[in-house]
Amino acid sequence: VLPICSVRNGRCFGSFEELLERAVSLSEEISKKAFELFTAFDSQYAQSHQLIVKSLKKCHTSSLDLPKPGSQAMQTHPVTLLKLASKLLRAWQVPLNHLVNNLPSLKNVSPSILSKAKEIEEKSNGLLEGVKSILIQMQNGDTEDENYPGWSGLASLKSETEDIRLFAYYNMIRCEGRDTQKVETALKMVKCKISNENNC
């Protein structure tokens, strides 16, 4: 059930704390589902095909990294963390769509894998909208055009070679799981800063 919100600039805005709390909760759900998807795919395809060695390729979002704890970067302003989360979510909007549309082409793909992928896509889109709302409130409507890294794995997903397609899917699911954790951690750090560590 959506909370009561106030409309500004054609958008629905709840209280800031409510929005942030909902964002953190949603990111936790996405992260959990991504881990489950990776475990299921790995147990069904990776073990029997020894794909790990071949799939150790950098993710398309490797340039977007969170600062290490204890470093000066941890003292960064919450806006920086929110922008990082926003870029990560935006970078995965297109790849998740292709993942959902092409997974059915795999042989013997299980329905649970398909449903989890679909759920991750929908919730990630929702979380992106939430993070944008929070940024608008914090910056008083000043929104910059975000530069996010592009994804170039579509050709591999559609390759006629089975091994090439499996390699591509495995690498994509692994990277998605990691990035969902990054978004979750970033949002939690923002929440702790803003709420004076009451709920941390």
Partner 1 sequence: QSPPGKPEIHKCRSPDKETFTCWWNPGSDGGLPTNYSLTYSKEGEKNTYECPDYKTSGPNSCFFSKQYTSIWKIYIITVNATNEMGSSTSDPLYVDVTYIVEPEPPRNLTLEVKQLKDKKTYLWVKWLPPTITDVKTGWFTMEYEIRLKSEEADEWEIHFTGHQTQFKVFDLYPGQKYLVQTRCKPDHGYWSRWGQEKSIEIPNDFTLKDTTVWIIVAVLSAVICLIMVWAVALKGYSMMTCIFPPVPGPKIKGFDTHLLEKGKSEELLSALGCQDFPPTSDCEDLLVEFLEVDDNEDERLMPSHSKEYPGQGVKPTHLDPDSDSGHGSYDSHSLLSEKCEEPQAYPPAFHIPEITEKPENPEANIPPTPNPQNNTPNCHTDTSKSTTWPLPPGQHTRRSPYHSIADVCKLAGSPGDTLDSFLDKAEENVLKLSEDAGEEEVAVQEGAKSFPSDKQNTSWPPLQEKGPIVYAKPPDYVEIHKVNKDGVLSLLPKQRENHQTENPGVPETSKEYAKVSGVTDNNILVLVPDSRAQNTALLEESAKKVPPSLEQNQSEKDLASFTATSSNCRLQLGRLDYLDPTCFMHSFH
Residue 146 CB, nearest approach to partner 1 (Å): 20
Provide the β-strand partners of residue 13.
6
C-beta pairs of 86-89 under 8 Å, 24+ apart in sequence: 86/128, 86/131, 86/132, 86/135, 86/146, 87/146, 87/147, 87/148, 88/61, 88/64, 88/148, 88/179, 88/182, 88/183, 89/124, 89/127, 89/128, 89/131, 89/183
Residue 75 CB, nearest approach to partner 1 (Å): 10
Q: Are 159 and 168 a contacting pair, CB within 8 Å? A: yes
Nearer to partner 1, 65 or 163 (CB): 65
Q: Which helix (H) or strand (E) holds 6?
A: strand 6-8
Nearer to partner 1, 31 or 124 (CB): 31
Q: How many CA atoms lie within 13 A of 91 on its CB side?
A: 26
User: Is residue 56 near partner 1 by the rule CB under 8 A?
Assistant: yes
User: Is residue 79 near partner 1 by the rule CB under 8 A?
Assistant: no
User: Is residue 87 near partner 1 by the rule CB under 8 A?
Assistant: no
User: Is residue 166 near partner 1 by the rule CB under 8 A?
Assistant: no
User: Is residue 20 near partner 1 by the rule CB under 8 A?
Assistant: no
**Structure letter (DSSP) for residue 108:** T
- Token couple for 114: 């398909």
User: Is residue 83 near partner 1 by the rule CB under 8 A?
Assistant: no
User: Is residue 176 near partner 1 by the rule CB under 8 A?
Assistant: no
Region near partner 1 per CB under 8 A, out of 120-128, 142-150, 161-169, 178-186: 178-186
d(CA 83, CA 105): 35
By CB under 8 A, name the one of 33, 87, 165, 191 that touches partner 1: 191
By CB under 8 A, name the one of 31, 86, 124, 133 that touches partner 1: 31
Q: What residue ranges bind partner 1 (CB under 8 A)?
A: 28, 31-32, 35, 52-53, 56-58, 62, 65-66, 68-70, 74, 174, 178, 181-182, 184-185, 188-193, 197, 199-200
